[in-house]
């Protein structure tokens, strides 16, 4: 089975590799700031997995656990989970807070991917 060029699954990033994996990425990156204790975050897991599989050649999808990675969470002033941020060329372009259906998320991402 052939896969699209790029990452086709949701990967986890940390404070230590955020600069490499997100800021230095060639593709636009959707970051979900998440937490294990957050029910809406768990609800988004299948949506993000489907998005990563469908858009793997155009968009990288990653998750950052806010409890385990406070430096990045604080740097981007994330206060609510889930928070989604889209980065392109190392810059945050858009921030969205709260769970949403895949269709709506795709619409919101339409102008950046």
Two tokens, residue 8: 């086709």
Q: Is 66 a residue of the active site?
A: no
CA distance 37 to 98: 14
Q: Which of 25, 30, 38, 109 is catalytic?
A: 38
Two tokens, residue 113: 């991917």
Q: Which of 10, 30, 31, 41 is catalytic?
A: 41
Nearest to residue 100, comparing CAs of 66, 51, 65? Answer: 51
Q: Is 23 a residue of the active site?
A: no
CA distance 77 to 75: 6
Residue 88 and residue 44 in contact, taking contact as beta carbons nearer than 8 Å: no
CA 96 to chain centre: 11
Task: Give the residue numbers marked as catalytic.
Answer: 38, 41
């Amino acid at each position: 089975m052939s896969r699209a060029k790029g990452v086709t699954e949701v990967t986890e990033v940390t404070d230590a590799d955020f600069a490499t994996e997100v800021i230095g990425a060639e593709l636009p990156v959707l970051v979900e700031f998440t937490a294990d204790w957050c029910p809406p975050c768990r609800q988004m897991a299948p949506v993000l997995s489907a998005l990563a599989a469908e858009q793997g050649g155009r968009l990288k999808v990653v998750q950052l656990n806010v409890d385990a990675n406070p430096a990045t969470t604080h740097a981007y002033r994330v206060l609510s989970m889930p928070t989604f941020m889209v980065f392109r060329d190392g810059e945050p372009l858009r921030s969205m807070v709260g769970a949403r259906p895949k269709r709506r998320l795709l619409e919101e991402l339409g102008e950046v991917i």
